[in-house]
Structure 1
Amino acid sequence: MAVQSAPEKALETVGPPSAVEEGEDARVRKKKGTLQDRQDMWRIGREQELNRNFRFLSVLGFTAVLMCTWEAVMFGSQYGLLDGGAAGMIYTYIGAIVGFSAVILSMAEMASMAPTSGGQYHWVSEFAPPSCQKFLSYITGWVCVLGWHTGIAGCSYTVANMLIGILAINYPDSYVPQGWHGTLFVMAVASVAFIFNTFLAQKLPLIEGIILIVHCFGFFAILIPLWVLAPTSPPSKVFGSIEDRGGWGNNGLACLVGLVAPIYALIGPDSAVHMAEEIKDASRVLPLGMVWTLILNGTTGFVMLITYAFCLGDIDKLLEIETGFPFIQVFLNATNSVGAATGMTVIIMILQFCAAISNVATTSRQLYAFARDNGLPFSSFLAHVNPRYTVPLNALCTSLVIVCLLSLINIGSAVAFNAIMSLGVAALLSSYIISTCCLRLKRWRGEPLPPARWSLGRWSAAVETFAILFLLVVYVFSFFPLTRRVDAETMNWSVVIFSGVVLFALSYYFLYARKVYSGPVTRVKQLM
């Protein structure tokens, strides 16, 4: 292990906590969590700053709503319908759920080993070979920062476009969407989500539990009308209609390009990792929450996708609609009522707004954790925890500013949404690949790993290997444009933004960060 940094030497003189200290009041005990939480924080060399007020159900609600899987299979369907068609969407979803299960299981085990708000960049720092752990963890921290900020932008943009779609179907003759409408709506959504994460921060676990109930009831509120009212296509058309509308010349390649849609619907169970220091009994509750989120959302997403595929009708007409989301037209076709279609869309819009709330919380914690390790400009400012609200308020404000700036990038066009969606997917996949590869290499070399209360046992190596292979394939296609005919309107500009952020991070590293950033491993202690 690397040598501890000077500020942490005081912690080294004291062994791991073995009992609750005498004289602690209820507030202090609530903040510090269980004895295992204290031992975990001692091992990673950090003092407890945030309140541990999340339990299993609130963690499940947090991650399940952030993923919004059954909702996302519909509002991301335009990409799957273009590259793969109805059957392609179904088969790529099945492939994605199998591959992503391996990814989440591997990450759940890492989360049990080191439950910290740093998440992936901490794991890389701890598991990577000593020769490159500093640099790799730094890069991983930056791509996580990028991925989660685009997650807020993506959620806010989706809510904004749904609102524009509702206005379009209710006022078809008088409302003309403008690009600046989307920009203002994105800023409004992000601002309200910021308020929830500031003034209501200590009530967030309760809010997330309530939202989980809405998430489950909303599923049936959408599913039942589609089952009862919508005209359906024959099974032969649904399961046998793999189509290449993107002009790739091969149905298999078209489906691989369309993988971004199911991955976007499934990505995010690791969000709870960045809330680890606010979860009671985190090394057990956190991995369980991740796994059960995958089960709950994976299942409901598949049921909704099959139902949606049967109700599509003419796919070519759906892709030409002006609302921006084919599912709004599917609701309209199913109910033959603008009011009913509006109500169904509002349910999804509300849940996606709730996802934005969870995204803001995750992003601010990841930003706060990386800043306290001096990985970012103005790190001392970003790592400050506001004593009144007990949240990293400066990190929250910074995230809001970044999202508002992102909303200015061609907001109001499908090109912008595709770029934001692909950028978030590619950035988070990068962090998954690096962290899982580091763990697999350490296990392959037979080097000791921290104990895990939730473990895959003898299956760990095989699951990690499969997860890496799957991630590499998906990562490549996350940068592909939606069609083979590429121009300024169809180009996937996410690769440009991703490259720009990485180049900035590298420049900052070699100019300054390498002098102050050592990585979390410098504080990690061995448990005897």
Structure 2
Amino acid sequence: MSAKDLEAKTNVISSAVSATGVSLDSDAAELADLGYKQEFKRDYNLLSTYSFALSISGLMGTISITYLYPLWSGGPAAAVWCWFVGSIGCLCIAWSVAEITSCFPTSGGMYYVIAHVVPKKHVPIVSWIDGWLYLTGALTGACSTDFGAATLLLQTVSMYQDYAYVPTRGHITAVAILVIITHGIINSLPGSVLSSITKYYCIVNIGSTIALIVTLLVKCPKYNTRGFTFGEVINSTGWSSEGWGFLFGFLNVSWVMTCYDATSRMSEETKNASLQTPIAIASALTTTAVLGWVLVVVITLCMGTDVAGYLASSSGQPIVDIFLHAMGKQAATAYLALCFLILWFCGAVATCYTSRSLWSFARDKGIPGSEFWHHLTAKTKAPTRCVWLIVTINSLLTLINLGSTVAMNAIFSACAICF
């Protein structure tokens, strides 16, 4: 949308409000000043918005399924220091995005902001590129979260049965698609339902992470040395340069602490959005950075020294064997099941903000068939068409796993790169 179109749209909305004599509340009035009318219900308060922002990172759930990358790229040192250094960079971006969101609280997020901060002649192409990169990242992010959740669940079952059961590609693909469908169902409900559920998620997420840290420290049979935990570099990438291999370790933190403006996509459903949304983004990402680093250090401290064995495990998820080593079968099964639950919530909110992103992009005519996709179901006020388009696309992406696990794993990288 060009600056001229935006100004014209704002004038039309303002004129309509004046003609009908309707008095807008402060949120709707601010949205009208930005060129849009209020269409969603504002069901999110500060707690539910903070929980929503925290659920995007997923903390112990997403750390669990991405711990493979630093372990593979540089061993213990990469796991610890890539998170520490990477989280500082991520926080700089997150706090900046929070400040920008306070000025432009719309579900369009950064592609809308571009209309105000980029030279006018470049606005259409840059907004279009940003919007499509974001949608690609959001889709692959939701897909990879659900695929990771399905993989973790079935590998947990396998571990509990002493590896008598070995999940096939077909099993993992089918479970992932079932998870995707459940997210489509919950996101087809009224926004008040998801906000009510999300409201308490931060307590579960933070409490579970702290409980996991304590359990690992208490039950671990033997801690690794300080030198091994913080200084041992084991390059398993095949690169001759340890430095280049080490850099792949940043995939862990860049995947977990990503999609900084996802919560801004919920701005049109948040009360006092210009204040509460940026507070939620900044505080949730800070929580993730600090608590996540503590968790990564503790996992590395308690995992033992058989890095090669973890990487060669048939499960493809080193965290399963690490938990088994550190806590025993019963505790490992319980915490891995909890990781799956947290990943399920992460995937649910990913589908939620992706649907709002798609709906908003359609509102500004950025995708084919915009008139059809810019639609809210009258009874639920949910963008149901967008939700089930996402379910369809992600189910098709998941089918890639039947042909190539390497191609499927590339979805994880595509998420971080696009965001």
TM-score range relative to shorter protein: over 0.9
Q: Name the CA distance, whole Å, in 2 between partners of 1:335 and 1:257.
A: 28
Distance 1:308 1:411, change over 3 A: farther
Shift of 1:71: 3.0
In the alignment, what sits opposite 2:188?
198
Matching of residue 237 in structure 1 with residue 239 in structure 2:
no
Deviations 1:268-313 (A, max 9, x none): 3321011110011111111100110111111110110010011121
In the alignment, what sits opposite 2:127?
137
> Aligned runs of 1:96-135 on 2, under 5 Å?
96-135=86-125
Distance 1:411 1:72, change over 3 A: farther
Distance 1:291 1:74, change over 3 A: same
Which letter does structure 2 place at the counterpart of 1:318? Y
SS at match of 2:188: coil
Deviations 1:462-510 (A, max 9, x none): xxxxxxxxxxxxxxxxxxxxxxxxxxxxxxxxxxxxxxxxxxxxxxxxx
In the alignment, what sits opposite 1:54?
44
Shift of 1:74: 2.6
Shift of 1:341: 1.6
Matching of residue 84 in structure 1 with residue 85 in structure 2:
no
1:92/1:259 contact within 8 Å kept:
yes
Give the TM-score of the pair, scaled to structure 2: 0.94
Match for 2:308 among 316, 324, 337? Answer: 316
In the alignment, what sits opposite 1:392?
383
Match for 1:168 among 152, 158, 176? Answer: 158
1:371/1:379 contact within 8 Å kept:
yes
SS at match of 2:43: coil
SS at match of 1:269: coil
SS at match of 2:312: coil
Matching of residue 150 in structure 1 with residue 152 in structure 2:
no
In the alignment, what sits opposite 1:297?
288
> Aligned runs of 1:25-424 on 2, under 5 Å?
34-35=25-26, 37-172=27-162, 174-199=164-189, 201-230=191-220, 231-313=222-304, 314-337=306-329, 339-411=330-402, 415-424=406-415
Q: CA RMSD in A?
A: 2.1
Distance 1:50 1:95, change over 3 A: same
Shift of 1:172: 4.1
Q: Name the CA distance, whole Å, in 1 between partners of 2:384 and 2:163.
A: 44
Give the TM-score of the pair, scaled to structure 1: 0.75
Distance 1:420 1:350, change over 3 A: same
Shift of 1:169: 1.2
Distance 1:200 1:169, change over 3 A: farther
**Once the two structures are aligned, what percentage of the paired residues are identical?**
27
The answer to which structure has the higher helix fraction is 2
Shift of 1:9: 4.5
Matching of residue 3 in structure 1 with residue 4 in structure 2:
yes
Shift of 1:248: 2.3
Distance 1:97 1:344, change over 3 A: same
1:179/1:413 contact within 8 Å kept:
no
1:190/1:400 contact within 8 Å kept:
yes
Q: Name the CA distance, whole Å, in 2 between partners of 1:259 and 1:220.
A: 23
Gaps of 5+ in 1: 22-31, 429-528
Which letter does structure 1 place at the counterpart of 2:4? V
Which letter does structure 2 place at the counterpart of 1:288? I
SS at match of 1:324: coil
Q: Name the CA distance, whole Å, in 1 between partners of 2:34 and 2:105.
A: 9
Distance 1:222 1:412, change over 3 A: farther
Shift of 1:125: 2.3
Shift of 1:316: 0.7
Q: Name the CA distance, whole Å, in 2 between partners of 1:176 and 1:345.
A: 17
For these two proteins, the number of residue pairs brought into alignment is: 414
